[in-house]
Structure 1
Amino acid sequence: MRSSLAIHNTADAGRSSVHVINDRIIIVQVLISLFLCINFLLITVFFMKDFFYTTMRYIFFALTLMSDCVSLILSDFLLILAYFHLSIHMSLCLIVYAAVSLCNLITPVTLTVMALERFVAICMPLRHRELCSTRSALHCILIIHGISALPDMVFLSIFFVSASHSYYTQSSECSVEKFILHTWQGHLRSAISQFYFLIMCIVIMFSYFKIMKVARAASGQNRKLTWKGLRTVVLHGFQLLLCLFLLWCPLIEAAMLQINLMLYINVRYFNYVMFILSPRCLSPLIYGLRDEKFSAALRSFVLCGLYKKQSSKL
């Protein structure tokens, strides 16, 4: 009697845990769909006016939106595969992992460059037009992609040398752990991530203190614009911090897995929402809503020109 009751309780517990996970999956799908719709809307507005795609900060803004869209789609694909325990060929998994890893690094690197752009605009206004031209923006995009791809190139080169040819034809659940064949590979990956974290934090802090110095010395309208630029850098710093916490998530999750499976599932869900989804919703807030020009263009597009007509009448 007791054994049957225990089995019944265990089954109820299993069903309740599956129900909780199902609810979480639905919530994640709703959030991702919402963020993708907002990002696609902002990208559409970006290409509507020449001013946006000829100005460096808006070009970088669009770059973060595009990389965030790719990251959200592919990470959601991996999440669904993991939830339903679906297997894919390791060659396809390798491509997906490389794309996700690249996009996850493009966003924080671009945010760092955007902070430098604000530093040049406020602290070196006479040289801003020269240093932050459209041509310079295109060169910076190439550099951003090169810097972002470097860790993947190192990590995957080691994997290609270590893995056998039969490994690529196998089918398995897709995760980054599948490509760590030696313990020192994980240590190297962690070291590179922490090095990037340190460099980006230094750049953000440098930009912040330089703009702070100018803000204290400014007056009138210049003071107002300078403090607005300073708040933008602070928001970039907060967004960058959330993005870079993602680098430590695998270490935390591995430690939780050794303690308890449900604790691991809860921590992984929290990390996904907090450090993957949350930073991706800050870009639209920083430039989509706070920026007057982009906000006006967005309202005009959403309201199908009604906002512009009302403004002209006033």
Structure 2
Amino acid sequence: MTRSDHMRLYTFKDSFQDAFIKNFICVALGIIINYINGVFVYTFCKNAVFYGNSRYILYIHLVTNDMIMLSVAVGLHVATYAVPFMQVSICCFLLLLGNMTAKNAPLNLAGMATERYIAVCKPLHHPQICTVKRAYILICLIWMASTIPVLADVFIIIVLKPLSFFNTNTVCILWDIFDTQQHRDRATVVEIIFMLFVWLTLFYTYFMILHTAKNASTDQVSAKKAQNTILLHGAQLLFSMLSYIAPFIDMYLVPLFPKSRSNILFTTFLLTHILPRLLSPLIYGIRDQQFVKYIKSYFSCKHEHASQVKPQ
């Protein structure tokens, strides 16, 4: 049984109460996580001190990317219940946007790890290499790298299927739309290349920082923080990769526990698509004293302003 078959059963066999509870949990978590991430985006936009630092620019791009990814995932989850059959053209746009943001996240982590490597191992060259302009160029390159496979998927559909296919209705699931062997081959090759590149980048930058930290002239505190940051990037990447193995988890567990099919699929969806989006602010933002200082300042000022408002 394929992931698509599982999702159909998952969607149509839930009672109204179960469907309501699951969608409520997804939407509530989505709002909470996006609010937390939105606080970091707001803090970044309101304080010019962050504008000139490539590290914060890359971080806020990661957070914004996660917000888009989460919104698409939650929206599609609710849509499978509210509008089970969606027009293929609309579904394609949403699936491809989600696919692009999913690929952006690990590439952005690789860019952030490289920036930390340059800051620790080549501190004298860091201001010249990691400029604001180059940070935005890197972000553009990340989006280009994630867009090319998406355009390839659309091109395959145009070549192999009639244009009228885009006007038909279907269950909005990735492998129901991009269901050809060419799509699977393309996806396998691209995912392997992307993951190899990101993991090699993380391993290289971590061990280079570890090696540099042994030098007595190196700022040991900064080196240690950079090592911890890259290790956390690796943990974050592992959680991000859960979305790739989720179909295999479903295909293994569902036959073992057929009566719990709906709950298994819902749990894997939460663990692989929703909760990992909370990692960016928890792993990176809250550890950054600069961000924490301005967030505390923002909330304290907001509280003081509210306390000064006199009741009518």
TM class by shorter-chain length?
Answer: 0.7 to 0.9
Shift of 1:183: 2.9
Shift of 1:262: 4.8
* Bigger Rg over Cα: 1
Shift of 1:290: 0.5
1:208 aligns with 2:192: no
What is the rounded CA distance, in whole Å, between the counterparts of 1:87 and 1:305 in structure 2? Answer: 44
3-state DSSP of counterpart to 1:88: strand
Out of 282, 286, 298, the position equivalent to 2:283 is 286
Cα 1:268–1:218, aligned 2, differ >3 Å: closer, same or farther?
farther
Shift of 1:150: 2.3
Paired position in structure 2 for 1:9 = none
Paired position in structure 2 for 1:165 = 163
CA contact (8 A) 1:91 1:169 kept: yes
Amino acid at match of 2:142: I
Cα 1:262–1:66, aligned 2, differ >3 Å: closer, same or farther?
farther
What is the rounded CA distance, in whole Å, between the counterparts of 1:262 and 1:67 in structure 2? Answer: 36
Paired position in structure 2 for 1:297 = 294
Instruction: Specify which structure has the bigger relative contact order, considering alpha-carbon pairs within 8 angstroms and separated by 6 or more residues.
Output: 2
Out of 236, 242, 245, the position equivalent to 2:233 is 236
Cα 1:151–1:265, aligned 2, differ >3 Å: closer, same or farther?
farther
What is the rounded CA distance, in whole Å, between the counterparts of 1:181 and 1:73 in structure 2? Answer: 24
- RMSD of aligned Cα (Å): 2.4
Out of 102, 108, 111, the position equivalent to 2:109 is 111
Per-residue Cα deviation, 1:82-124 (whole angstroms, up to 9, x for no partner)? 2345222111111111111111111111011101111111111
What is the rounded CA distance, in whole Å, between the counterparts of 2:152 and 2:255 in structure 1? Answer: 29
The correspondence of residues 1-314 of structure 1 with structure 2, limited to 5 A, is: 19-84=17-82, 86-218=84-216, 222-254=219-251, 262-304=259-301
Shift of 1:195: 2.1
Identity among equivalent pairs (%): 24
Moved more, 177-186 or 246-255: 246-255
Amino acid at match of 1:299: K
Paired position in structure 2 for 1:310 = none
Cα 1:51–1:180, aligned 2, differ >3 Å: closer, same or farther?
same
CA contact (8 A) 1:300 1:306 kept: no
Cα 1:17–1:303, aligned 2, differ >3 Å: closer, same or farther?
same
Shift of 1:178: 2.2
Output the TM-score relative to the length of structure 2.
Answer: 0.86
Cα 1:63–1:117, aligned 2, differ >3 Å: closer, same or farther?
same
Moved more, 271-280 or 158-167: 271-280
Amino acid at match of 2:98: V
What is the rounded CA distance, in whole Å, between the counterparts of 2:159 and 2:88 in structure 1? Answer: 15
3-state DSSP of counterpart to 2:229: helix
Cα 1:264–1:101, aligned 2, differ >3 Å: closer, same or farther?
farther
Shift of 1:16: 8.7
CA contact (8 A) 1:256 1:263 kept: no
Cα 1:163–1:112, aligned 2, differ >3 Å: closer, same or farther?
same
3-state DSSP of counterpart to 2:47: coil
Per-residue Cα deviation, 1:35-68 (whole angstroms, up to 9, x for no partner)? 0111111111001122212211100111111111
What is the rounded CA distance, in whole Å, between the counterparts of 1:15 and 1:107 in structure 2? Answer: 34
Gaps of 5+ in 2: 1-11, 305-312
Per-residue Cα deviation, 1:145-201 (whole angstroms, up to 9, x for no partner)? 111222212222212211212111112221112223423422331232122112111
Amino acid at match of 1:268: L
Moved more, 133-142 or 271-280: 271-280
CA contact (8 A) 1:52 1:58 kept: yes
3-state DSSP of counterpart to 1:51: helix
CA contact (8 A) 1:287 1:294 kept: no
What is the rounded CA distance, in whole Å, between the counterparts of 2:298 and 2:229 in structure 1? Answer: 24
Cα 1:35–1:287, aligned 2, differ >3 Å: closer, same or farther?
same
Amino acid at match of 1:287: Y
Shift of 1:228: 0.9
Cα 1:188–1:252, aligned 2, differ >3 Å: closer, same or farther?
farther
Paired position in structure 1 for 2:310 = none
